[in-house]
Amino acid sequence: MSSEEDRKRNDLIYKIIVDRYDLEWKRTNDLDTKASNVTGIAGILTALMAGISGFFQQAHYKWLFLIPLTFLIFSAISGLWAYWISSFDAINPNVLIEEYKETAETKILEDVSATMSKHTMHNFLVNQRKVRRIYGAFIFLVLAIGLFFAFAIMNSVM
């Protein structure tokens, strides 16, 4: 291969890796938004449920509402845990400038591409952990809402 073909190939690989890195960064922002939304909804519903449960006349059923409230609290905690700031790998520009100030362009592209590829995989794994935590928060939220309505209907029937 000629050096021109190497250059084009390296540019293409670099562009693909940078695009994938940017995608993980955007995904992190989206996941953080989802985590904060689930946490906010769980918090609002917790306050509403605590207030609404006071309107039920039959005092012996009021303790049942602690179950959905517990699930809402777990949902909020899971959402906050997903939102927790975790390390997001990136290339340090100062180190890059110092390390490669007298290196050929092709070598820089190859090294930076390899490093960004590793950083992208690390960031992907961090995001996958966030996804699992958000999924858990959402499951707790759905269970809490379902149980609240089930207990409310059971309380009104009895």
**pLDDT per residue as tens digits for the range 85-130:** 777 778 877 877 788 778 888 888 888 888 888 989 999 999 999 9
Return d(Cα 130, Cα 127) in angstroms, integer: 5
| Confidence at residue 47, expressed as pLDDT on a 0 to 100 scale | 85
What is the Cα–Cα distance from 27 to 127, expressed in whole angstroms?
Answer: 7
The amino acid present at 69, given as its one-letter code, is L
**pLDDT on residue 4:** 82
Residue range of the domain that includes 65? 3-157
Identify whether the C-beta of residue 116 lies closer than 8 Å to the C-beta of residue 92.
no
Domain count, the chain: 1
Contact 31, 128 (CB under 8 A): no
Give buried/exposed letters for 2-24 (b at 16+ CB in 10 A, else e).
eeeeeeeebeebbeebeebbeeb
The pair of three-digit structure tokens given for residue 102, joined into one six-digit string: 């007298």
pTM: 0.78
Q: Within the chain, which residues score under 50 in pLDDT? A: none
Query: What is the C-alpha to C-alpha distance for residues 158 and 60, in angstroms, rounded to an integer?
Result: 11
Contact (Cβ atoms closer than 8 angstroms) between residue 58 and residue 158 = yes
